[in-house]
Amino acid sequence: MKKTVHKNRIWLLPLLLIGIGYLSAGAFLPDSTVKSPNIIFIIGDDISAEDIGVYGNKAIRTPNIDQLAKEGLQFDNLFLTASSCSPSRTSILTGRYPHNTGAAELHTPLPQHLTYFPEVLKRNGYYSALAGKWHEGENSRRAYDTLLTNKKINGEGGENQWISLLKSRPADKPFFFWLAPYDAHREWSANEAFENPYKPEEVIVPPTLVDTKETRQDLAYYYNEISRIDHYIGELVKELERQGIADNTVIIFTADNARPFPGAKTRVLDRGLKTPFVIKWPQGIKAQGKHVSGLVSSIDIAPTLLEIADVKPAETIQGSSFSKLLKNPGAVFRNYVFGEHNWHDYEGLERSVRTPDYLYLTNARPMLTNEGPIDANQSPSAKALKKAKADGSITAYQKEIFLSPRPVEEFYDNRKDPLQAHNRIDDPNYKKQVAGLKKVLSQWQTETGDTAPKNLTPDWYDRENGTALPAQGKRQEMPGKANKADRINKKGPF
């Protein structure tokens, strides 16, 4: 890779990495008494599962992520609870649904009274560190011994700190690393990072976008960001092997939400909530190269990692450990996964429940379009969609983001319609299935204390041109607040 100079990089080093009691890189010798597995959790920013090589993208270059899957397990049906940055991350940190975190909307901080799984590891002898994106609130600072964080929301977000973090960690403790690169969040910064950057003609244009030169260039820049993460993952694995700790290190790659393009990010359809998730752990996973097809929710990650570390989970966790899937990838796990869309630059309130076969969702703001957050709906790809809409060349599938009013309810047959393009809510052939999932979703909302406030946080930006509105910076009632949902630990249907 070429050395890239990135603008606006302000690195904060709240804690010194190298000091008394730490070993230098050249003298590093792992302590043979450390038995608990090390855990490295890599969470990419705005990356869809279908944009990773091992998940079927033939144009993207992700050899290191692909290798993790080949030497570990690939989860094909792991779903996020929100396709929105901080709500998704706070959900993973707490093992709770977004409306149960007190931080259901973008850029709202976690409350002090909840427990974050890295702090539980820290209390039980782990050295805990975060490098990169950190916007889960000041209270989450206590979960880490070391924070290497960036004030800006663009750029690579700490990948160049990963190796030094590995070299300077305490040798007498197992470690947990939350590695949170900003790739592939807009604005793009990896355009000149590679000897062989992607050409517009190389990319695969998803059916949600129009195939124009502007869209292809936008996707090429996005691909560059994904391949930059992949490069650093390769370097990380090399250092683990150099230190002789690769066999007892759990390494995970996933993402917080879908690609930052219209029709993906902020959606509760599969193209918003399905995420890449690959895990490698040589000492703990013997069935290497297998696929896990069972349904898993991102709230299940925290209890799983705690069980792997032989640490009791906090009672506040709503998820369940899927550790049995590491031994038996073909086992059935969940019957349902649930999703939320709350405020993210624009007002919204959607809920979804998915089974292996069907998806049912509700929309409490049907008069509002869902063109994605501001970074997506002001992108070159979005402008190409708006132009196609104006000249009539847009497809029905692409035009869906502009619908107003939208359906209050939607139902999809995932087996016959994997793109979830055909709403079957009024199809009499699915009357029984719709009624069943409607009941399950209602039960989940009731048991977990979800609410639909009359006064939600409004749009902060114009949906057409992205200019700031008078309401910018003003928030209204958070979903779940009236029921004190951040104090409710009930899990809902499983």
Task: Provide φ and ψ at 376, rounded to 5°.
Answer: -80, -45
Distance between CA atoms of residues 109 and 299, nearest Å: 18
- pTM equals 0.93
User: Is 287 within 8 Å of 69 (Cβ atoms)?
Assistant: no
Distance between CA atoms of residues 15 and 227, nearest Å: 30
The number of residues making up the chain comes to: 494
User: Is 132 within 8 Å of 184 (Cβ atoms)?
Assistant: no
User: Is 230 within 8 Å of 65 (Cβ atoms)?
Assistant: yes
Q: With CA atoms as reference, report the closest residue to 360 among 439, 473, 419.
A: 439
Alpha-helix runs per DSSP H in 392-427: 396-399
Structure tokens at 201: 């003609």
Q: Which residue has the higher pLDDT, 12 or 307?
A: 307
Per DSSP, 58 falls in state S
Asked if residue 486 has pLDDT above 80, the reply is yes
Structure tokens at 98: 């977004």
Structure tokens at 214: 């502007």
Residues near 173 by beta carbon (within 8 Å), at least 6 away in sequence: 34, 125, 126, 127
What pLDDT, in 10s, does the model give residues 39-52? 999 999 999 999 99
- Kindly state the average pLDDT of the residues 236-265: 97
Asked if residue 105 has pLDDT above 90, the reply is yes
Structure tokens at 351: 């809920």
Q: What is the pLDDT of residue 34?
A: 54
Asked if the structure places residue 10 within a domain, the reply is: no
Indicate the pLDDT class of residue 193, thresholds 50, 70 and 90. low
**Mean pLDDT for the chain?**
92
Indicate the pLDDT class of residue 260, thresholds 50, 70 and 90. very high
Distance between CA atoms of residues 158 and 145, nearest Å: 16
Asked if the structure places residue 28 within a domain, the reply is: no
Q: Are residues 74 and 118 both part of a single domain?
A: yes
What pLDDT, in 10s, does the model give residues 390-446? 999 999 999 999 999 999 999 999 999 999 999 999 999 999 999 999 999 999 999
Q: What is the pLDDT of residue 156?
A: 57
Instruction: Single out the residue in 280, 301, 332 at which a domain terminates.
Output: 332
User: Is 420 within 8 Å of 271 (Cβ atoms)?
Assistant: yes
Asked if residue 474 has pLDDT above 90, the reply is yes
What pLDDT, in 10s, does the model give residues 122-138? 999 999 999 999 999 99
Q: Which domain holds residue 212?
A: 36-332
Q: Are residues 167 and 231 both part of a single domain?
A: yes
Question: What is the number of other CB atoms lying within 10 angstroms of the CB of residue 249?
Answer: 24
Asked if the structure places residue 19 within a domain, the reply is: no
Q: With CA atoms as reference, report the closest residue to 339 among 421, 273, 388.
A: 273
- Cis peptide preceding 405, ω within 30 of 0: yes
Q: Is 436 helix (H, G, I), strand (E, B) or coil?
A: helix
Distance between CA atoms of residues 253 and 100, nearest Å: 25
Indicate the pLDDT class of residue 13, thresholds 50, 70 and 90. very low
Q: With CA atoms as reference, report the closest residue to 185 among 387, 379, 461.
A: 379
User: Is 13 within 8 Å of 223 (Cβ atoms)?
Assistant: no
Asked if the structure places residue 25 within a domain, the reply is: no
Q: Are residues 273 and 360 both part of a single domain?
A: no
Distance between CA atoms of residues 141 and 178, nearest Å: 12
Q: Are residues 86 and 127 both part of a single domain?
A: yes
- Kindly state the average pLDDT of the residues 246-275: 98
Structural domains of the chain, count: 2
Q: Are residues 98 and 119 both part of a single domain?
A: yes
Asked if the structure places residue 172 within a domain, the reply is: yes
∠ at Cα 67 (61, 73), nearest 5°?
Answer: 120
Distance between CA atoms of residues 272 and 82, nearest Å: 8
Q: Are residues 134 and 156 both part of a single domain?
A: yes
Q: What is the pLDDT of residue 35?
A: 85
Indicate the pLDDT class of residue 485, thresholds 50, 70 and 90. very high
Containing 92, the helix (H) or strand (E) segment is helix 85-94
Q: Are residues 397 and 471 both part of a single domain?
A: yes
Q: Are residues 345 and 326 both part of a single domain?
A: no
- Kindly state the average pLDDT of the residues 83-93: 97
Distance between CA atoms of residues 101 and 115, nearest Å: 10
Distance between CA atoms of residues 308 and 325, nearest Å: 12
Q: What is the pLDDT of residue 29?
A: 39
Which conformational region is residue 473 in: left (phi greater than 0), alpha (psi within -120 to 50 degrees), or beta? left
Distance between CA atoms of residues 278 and 289, nearest Å: 10
What CATH number did the domain enclosing 171 receive? 3.40.720.10
Q: Are residues 273 and 369 both part of a single domain?
A: no
Q: With CA atoms as reference, report the closest residue to 241 among 28, 73, 54, 53.
A: 28
User: Is 110 within 8 Å of 101 (Cβ atoms)?
Assistant: yes
**From edge to edge, which strands make up the β-sheet containing 350-354?**
337-341, 350-354, 358-363, 409-413
Instruction: Single out the residue in 332, 350, 370 at which a domain terminates.
Output: 332
Asked if the structure places residue 150 within a domain, the reply is: yes
Asked if the structure places residue 463 within a domain, the reply is: yes
User: Is 56 within 8 Å of 49 (Cβ atoms)?
Assistant: no
- Kindly state the average pLDDT of the residues 142-169: 82
Q: Are residues 282 and 412 both part of a single domain?
A: no
User: Is 40 within 8 Å of 177 (Cβ atoms)?
Assistant: yes
- Angstrom CA distances, 107 to 102, 210, 313, 343, stand at 11, 31, 26, 10
Q: With CA atoms as reference, report the closest residue to 97 among 468, 481, 450.
A: 450
User: Is 411 within 8 Å of 437 (Cβ atoms)?
Assistant: yes
Distance between CA atoms of residues 356 and 73, nearest Å: 19
Instruction: Single out the residue in 300, 317, 332 at which a domain terminates.
Output: 332
Indicate the pLDDT class of residue 195, thresholds 50, 70 and 90. confident
Q: What is the pLDDT of residue 196?
A: 85
Q: Which residue has the higher pLDDT, 201 or 27?
A: 201
Asked if the structure places residue 417 within a domain, the reply is: yes
Q: Are residues 293 and 408 both part of a single domain?
A: no
Q: Is 128 helix (H, G, I), strand (E, B) or coil?
A: strand
Q: Are residues 271 and 381 both part of a single domain?
A: no
